Structure 1
C-alpha cells in the first residue's frame, strides 16, 4: 500500500480534512462509499417502499463476508445489536449455578463485566485477573483457574491499554479443560488477524463501528457449531425458526444454525453499510494489519523516548491501541488531534493515518 493509494483512500473520508484522527478505538472514521450505501438504502425505501427479498439477500451475503473474514462458517454467524448483547447470549444462555466461577481480566470494558456480575444472585462468582506491569497474558489467566471455573471471558485486545491476549493458547486450554471460552473481539476485528480455524473459541462477538469503519447498532456473534447446544435461548422470534418466511404456517422448529438468535427483521440499512465497508477493506486485509502494527510501533517508540511520559501499554505485543501517562486532553483538541482519555491518553491510529501524522503528534508531545 503506497502513499498514493493511502492518499486516495483518505480523500474519501471528510473527517481527515478537519483533524488528525487518532481515536479509532472509540469509533472509526466513515468512508464516503459506506455513507452513500446507507443513504441510498433509505432513499430507495423512501421512493419504492419495501424490498424484503433484496434486503434479506444482503443480510446473507454479508454473513458470508463476515465468516470468510474470520475463517468460520456462515452457519456460525448471527447478527445482534451490539457486543454487550453477544456477551449476554453466553451469560444468560449457560447453565451456571451456585459456586461456579467466571474469570475475566482486569481493566475490561464494562460490556464484559456487568453481564457476569449479574449472575451473583445465582451464586456465580466472578474472578478478576490483575495486570502485571501493564500486561496480562493467557498464562496469567490460566493460573487463576480452579475446578469451579466454568467460563473464561476476555477482551482479545484491551480497550484500556491495547494489551492483546493470545487467544490461541487460551482457547486450546479451555477446550482441553471443558471451560466455555468467550471473546470480545471489537478492539481487534479488522485491525489484526483473526483466524478461528487456528484457535478454539466457543463464542466471539464484535461490532463494526471501530476498526471496521462501519455503522453502529449492529454486531455479529460467532458461535462454534459444537458449542451451540450448550446455550439456552435467551429470546425467541419468528426469524429464529428453520423456515422463517413461511409466515402462515406456525411450526416451532428452531434453526440449526446461529441464526436462531435473530428474532425478526434486521437493521437492514446498517447491514448494507457493513457489506460496503467489508467489501472495501477486504482486499487490503493483510496490508491493514501490517500498517497498523508499524504505525503503532513508531508511536510507542516515540513516546518511550520522551522522558516526561510513561508508556502504559505492553511492549511485548502489538495492537492498534497505545496508552501513556498524561492529562489535559483539551490541548490535543485545540491543536486538531482527536485522541481519547482512559486512565491516561489513549491513541489509536488506523492504516489510513500517515507517518507524518504520527510524527506531528509526537512533536506536539
Structure 2
C-alpha cells in the first residue's frame, strides 16, 4: 500500500467524508496549476479537457466497466434526471423511502408526465421489485445510515421482472467495490469518496438503457468529433456514452483525474479493508455490532451539544454520522471512541 502520508496531509479529527472528501496533495497541486495557467492566460483548454477523458477512463477502471459506457456530468441528480425524463408514461419506479433526494426527486418530478413512484422501506425493496416494476433505483450505500445494499440480490429481483437497475454510488465508489457492468446505470458524484472537486459526476450506461435515453442536453462536447462540432447542422453526436455528456467544468475535472489516479494507485480493495477496519473497531469499542460499512450512524444523547463534539462529523437522519476514509487512522478512531462512550444512546 502506498504511504498515505505521501498522498494526503494528516487531517486529525476529520471523519466526515460522507459529506465531502478531502483532496490529496497531488489533486491540490494539479488544480492550483490549472488555475494559475488560467489566471496568466497561458492555459490551453484542450489540455484541461484531456483531464476529463483521463478521469472518464480511470473511473471506468474503478467501477469495472468500459470507458465508452461512461457519461460525464456535473451532479448525480442531473444525470439521473436524464433517465427519469426518458421513461414512458405509467412506468413504475421503486425506490427506498430513506433514499437521498438526488436519487429520489428526479423520479418524483417525472410523475408529472405519468411515471409512478413507489417509495418503500429498504428491507422490502427486493420483495417489491419482484412483484413487478420497470425500474429500481437505490444507493449502493445509504447516506443517512451507512447501510450497504446487497446489489446482487437486487439485480436478480429486477431481472426476474425485466426491470432496469439504477445505482447511485456516490456514497460507495472510492471505498466499496462496485461492478458497474452488472447494472443498467451507475451514477456517482465525485466530491465525496472519490475526493474530487464539486462538479465532477459520472454515469455508466448499459446498451439497453442508453438506447432509451434522449441526449436532451447535448452540445459541442457530445459531438462525435469535438473540434468538428462547434457550429451548424447536421446533428453529429458521439456513438457511445459521450453523446450524453455536458460541457465539463475544466478545473474540477483536472482535480477529478488526479484524484482517481490516487485511488487506483492504492486500490479499492485496500481502501475497503482500511475504512471498514476503522469503522468496525469504533463500533466494537462502543460495544456495538460491526456493520462492515465505512459509514457509521449513532444516536447521541440530547444533552450533547453538537458544537462541542471534538471531531468533524455530521448530523444526518437523526443520528451522528461518522465516516472513515483512507486518510483517517487510529488516532481519529480513538478520539471518536473516547467521546462517544459516554454520549451515545443505546437501543
* Same fold by TM-score greater than 0.5: yes
Q: How far, CA to CA, are the matches of 1:328 and 1:217 in structure 2?
A: 36
Residue 28 of structure 1, aligned match among 21, 24, 29: 21
Q: Deviations along 1:118-153, whole A, 9 cap, x unmatched?
A: 12223322111214xxxx3xxx31211366511100
3-state SS, counterpart of residue 211 of structure 1:
coil
Q: Deviations along 1:165-222, whole A, 9 cap, x unmatched?
A: 111222233234221111110000101111234xx21111111111111111121111
Quote the offset at 1:280 in angstroms: 1.6
Q: Deviations along 1:252-272, whole A, 9 cap, x unmatched?
A: 1222111111243x2111111
3-state SS, counterpart of residue 347 of structure 1:
strand
In the alignment, structure 1 segments of 5+ residues that lack a partner are 306-314
Residue 159 of structure 1, aligned match among 118, 143, 152: 143
Counterpart for residue 238 of structure 1: 220
Quote the offset at 1:49 in angstroms: 3.7
C-alpha spacing 1:148/1:172, structure 2 compared with 1 (3 Å): closer
Equivalenced residue count is 337
C-alpha spacing 1:270/1:330, structure 2 compared with 1 (3 Å): farther
User: Does the 8 Å CA contact 1:93/1:233 hold for their aligned counterparts?
Assistant: no
Q: How far, CA to CA, are the matches of 1:329 and 1:357 in structure 2?
A: 23
3-state SS, counterpart of residue 235 of structure 1:
coil
Counterpart for residue 212 of structure 1: 194
Counterpart for residue 328 of structure 2: 353
Provide the TM-score with structure 1 as the length reference: 0.85
Counterpart for residue 308 of structure 1: none
Q: Deviations along 1:246-297, whole A, 9 cap, x unmatched?
A: 1356321222111111243x21111110111111221212211111111111
2:82 is aligned with 1:82: no
User: Does the 8 Å CA contact 2:310/2:339 hold for their aligned counterparts?
Assistant: no
Counterpart for residue 255 of structure 2: 273
User: Does the 8 Å CA contact 2:18/2:295 hold for their aligned counterparts?
Assistant: yes
Bigger CA drift: 222-231 or 103-112? 222-231
C-alpha spacing 1:55/1:334, structure 2 compared with 1 (3 Å): same
C-alpha spacing 1:248/1:22, structure 2 compared with 1 (3 Å): closer
Residue 325 of structure 1, aligned match among 288, 299, 311: 299
2:92 is aligned with 1:101: yes
3-state SS, counterpart of residue 300 of structure 1:
helix
2:286 is aligned with 1:303: yes
Residue 276 of structure 2, aligned match among 276, 293, 296: 293
Bigger CA drift: 345-354 or 249-258? 249-258
Counterpart for residue 127 of structure 1: 118
User: Does the 8 Å CA contact 1:155/1:185 hold for their aligned counterparts?
Assistant: yes
Q: How far, CA to CA, are the matches of 2:303 and 2:273 in structure 1?
A: 29
Provide the TM-score with structure 2 as the length reference: 0.90
Q: How far, CA to CA, are the matches of 1:316 and 1:87 in structure 2?
A: 32
Quote the offset at 1:331 in angstroms: 4.2
C-alpha spacing 1:330/1:48, structure 2 compared with 1 (3 Å): farther
User: Does the 8 Å CA contact 2:92/2:133 hold for their aligned counterparts?
Assistant: yes
User: Does the 8 Å CA contact 1:327/1:344 hold for their aligned counterparts?
Assistant: no
Structure-to-structure mapping, 1:136-147, within 5 angstroms = 136=123, 140-145=124-129
User: Does the 8 Å CA contact 1:225/1:257 hold for their aligned counterparts?
Assistant: no
User: Does the 8 Å CA contact 2:315/2:321 hold for their aligned counterparts?
Assistant: yes
User: Does the 8 Å CA contact 1:332/1:338 hold for their aligned counterparts?
Assistant: no
Quote the offset at 1:225 in angstroms: 2.8
In the alignment, structure 2 segments of 5+ residues that lack a partner are 341-347
Q: How far, CA to CA, are the matches of 1:206 and 1:196 in structure 2?
A: 11
